[in-house]
Amino acid sequence: MPKWIRDCGGRLVKIETPHNKELEVILNIMETTPEDQHSHHDHQDNPNEFRSMRDHMHPPRMSAPSCIVPPTEQLVIRPHIVPLLPTFHGMESENPYSHIKEFEDVCNIFREGGASIDLMRLKLFPFTLKDKAKIWLNSLRPRTKENEKFYECWERYIEAINACPHHGFDTWLLVSYFYDGMSSSMKQLLETMCGGDFMSKNPEEAMDFLSYVAEVSRDGMNRTEEKWEG
């Protein structure tokens, strides 16, 4: 007569055996072998490997890490400052450069003692973004804005410079700011393209060369797109 019993793993096992053999079979099935013991310990050591449907469908809620990673230096933000910050919603009618300028003015007013102005800006800036702009910020990964082409970055940089014609920065500073923001691999490629003498160029030559690299980057991207379309 068939019988259903549970083995050491809790699984139902069907057995068909004479009555005098039932006890022996049951004992054999219920006995834990060294392999079963090892497997059981593995399950305990790796609880995430064996998760129930409830665990998969209702995972614990965790906040995504901010893309802004401030230094470990401590800074106390006084609550009355936050409502005074300008806001930016990401609308076409808004000027992001004007928003940055107003934001920096507020930070300069409320800067206290020897507090780092950069740290203060890093801490307060997320409070200024709303709606689409805040969604964009939250979509970025920590420490980087990925997948931006060289020519896109350069054109955005030039656009920012042109939006502030009275910025007062010398050409060598404009080149320096952009160069310092480049990744190590991009710096290496830049040096390779100019024969390793980028730092030997004067500021105007360096600015022109960056424009040339951006043009090459754009042309290369256009050729790639035409290849795929063809």
Q: What is the pTM of this model?
A: 0.44
The pLDDT, as a whole number, for residue 32 is: 46
Contacts 24+ apart (CB under 8 A), 119-124: 119/70, 119/71, 119/73, 119/75, 120/75, 120/77, 122/68, 122/70, 123/70, 123/75, 123/77, 124/77, 124/81, 124/82, 124/85
Q: Which tokens is 109 given?
A: 């007013």
Q: What is the pLDDT of residue 123?
A: 87
Block means of pLDDT (10 residues each) for the chain, 230 residues, are: 60 57 46 46 54 68 66 79 93 90 91 80 91 84 68 89 84 92 87 90 95 87 54
Query: Which residue ranges make up each domain of the chain?
Result: 2-51, 79-139, 150-229
d(CA 68, CA 144): 9
Instruction: Return the pLDDT at 18.
Output: 52
